[in-house]
Amino acid sequence: MRLLILSDIHANWDALQAIPTDCDGIVFLGDAVSYGPQPAECIAWIRAHTMVAVRGNHDHAVAYNADPQCSPAFRTMAEATLAWHRKLLSEEDKSYLGALPLRASFQFGGASFLAVHASPRDPLYRYVQGNPLEPLLLAELEGESADVVLMGHTHIQYARRLSRGLVLNPGSVGQPKHGSPTAAYAIWEDGSVQLHQVAYPVEAAVQRLQKAPLPADVKQQLVGVLRKGGLEP
């Protein structure tokens, strides 16, 4: 059984369309909106194709007019695009995002899974990142019994097999932070894990952003992130 795991699409329809979908099920770990130019198309795809989807901090921010509590370097970009997306999206789309669960437990391929956006302890906001990563993950998994815990939010791919089970972050489809302008995703298949990055027409997404009703400095920042696969150091 083959499971496709996606996270952090961030309204990048061009990146989403590049993801191969030859699988038996699709899980989405949150953040359909913010930063990108096509939130409605991405939400429609999630609604049509995923078997499990959870709410991300940016989804929550759009649905409830809340602070996404994103990293300071991305705050200006987030505030500008969230204000735009709140006007752009239908009430039905916003209600859908707001109704997504913060945690989802499910069975697939003989294994038990827990899906969250950020972390089991704080599904919306906690950034689980650092070096070494393993002690931080073990702390997050305390009290959890799933064989596989799926987490997004950081936009960085990893798979760690720990004493409490497998922890998998597929990275970001639409706004990578791994230093390459590619769309990231993961495949779980009968207990094995594959982390993937696939090229997509970045300049098509750039052209859409450049036409967006956003401040020029915000558009410049967003375009730079897409072209470089993260912020410049």
Mean pLDDT of 40-48: 98
pTM listed for this prediction = 0.97
**Residue 15 falls within a domain, yes or no?**
yes
Examine residue 132 and say whether the peptide bond preceding it is cis (omega within 30 degrees of 0): yes
Mean pLDDT of 185-197: 97
Mean pLDDT of 15-23: 97
Neighbours of 211 (CB within 10 A): 9
**Residue 63 falls within a domain, yes or no?**
yes
Q: Which domain holds residue 190?
A: 2-228
**Residue 195 falls within a domain, yes or no?**
yes
**Residue 220 falls within a domain, yes or no?**
yes
**Residue 233 falls within a domain, yes or no?**
no
Does the structure show a pLDDT above 90 at 174? Answer: yes
Contact 103, 115 (CB under 8 A): yes
**Residue 28 falls within a domain, yes or no?**
yes
Mean pLDDT of 85-104: 98
**Residue 139 falls within a domain, yes or no?**
yes
Contact 118, 108 (CB under 8 A): no
By percentage, how much of the chain surpasses pLDDT 90?
97
By percentage, how much of the chain surpasses pLDDT 70?
99
Residue 47 structure tokens: 């609604």
Q: At what angle do helices 75-88 and 57-64 cross, to 10 degrees?
A: 50
Q: What is the model's pLDDT at position 134?
A: 94
Mean pLDDT of 82-101: 98
198 forms bridges with which residues in the sheet? 183
Would you place residue 233 in the very low, low, confident or very high pLDDT band (cuts 50, 70, 90)? Answer: low
Contact 191, 183 (CB under 8 A): no
The CATH number linked to 80 is 3.60.21.10
Domain count, the chain: 1
